[in-house]
Amino acid sequence: MGLVTLSSDTCSAGADGSTSAPWRDEGGTGLATTRLSVFIACSLDGYIASRDGSLAWLEQAAGGDQDYGYEAFLGSVDALAMGAGTYEHIADLDPLPYGGRPVFVFTHRQRPPRPGVTLWQESPQAALRRWTAMGLGRVYVDGGTLVSSFLGAGLIDDLVITTAPVLLGGGLPLFHPVQVGAQLRLEGVRTWPNGLVQLAYSRVQEAQDG
């Protein structure tokens, strides 16, 4: 769950919290594969929502007068991907707060059709192939379970994680157990007087990634 309402003291990452993504051609097509990015906030003990799914703690910690790089990041993506739980937080908004970008919701639940929203049950690998075929340059992957699924498949290219100085003691975790780990490179650090700390990472490319 990104900092949707979210001045730094230090910054060495790009304005959108990202670094240039290396070339990937996982399908052997000769085309650059869609870049997959994460921009998410969590408590100091690693939760993205309280036990009841509330984000009130984050809104209180972040305040309403800072953007934390979210708009710049959103402006750099072509589409968004999220799980059903994350979609529930914004499903009643009209229009959706993404500037008309297409939204892909990974869910087994049935929902009324909505323009610009695709409900599907694709695997991370299949989703990446379809996004690449669509010509999407960069997709924002959001929600703890979905982020972990794509991380476990080795498909996330970069992450921006903003940590709030709050201990929830439980709730919905940012990361879930996955079968495959990943090595990350720290690309930048930003801090704010209210105690929020933002870390930007890129995935260290393995030899087979090219």
Please give the pLDDT value at position 75: 97
Confidence of residue 17 (pLDDT cuts 50, 70, 90): very low
How far, in Å, are 48, 66, 119, 180 from residue 164 at the CA level? 10, 13, 31, 27
Fold held by 35-209? Dihydrofolate Reductase, subunit A (3.40.430)
pLDDT at 195 over 90: yes
pLDDT in tens, 85-122: 899 889 999 999 999 999 999 999 888 889 999 999 99
Q: DSSP readout, 179-193?
A: SS---EEEEEEEE-T
CB atoms under 10 Å from CB of 26, counted, come to: 16
What is the tens place of the pLDDT at every residue in 119-153? Answer: 999 999 999 999 999 999 999 999 999 999 999 99
- The mean pLDDT value of the chain amounts to 86
| Helical (H) or strand (E) element with 198 | strand 197-203
What is the domain partition of the chain in residue ranges? 35-209
Residue 29 has pLDDT above 60, yes or no: no
Position 84, amino acid: A
pTM for this model (two decimals): 0.85
- Tell me, what amino acid is at 76? S
Say yes or no to pLDDT of 23 above 90: no
Question: Which helix (DSSP H) or strand (DSSP E) does residue 56 occupy?
Answer: helix 56-62
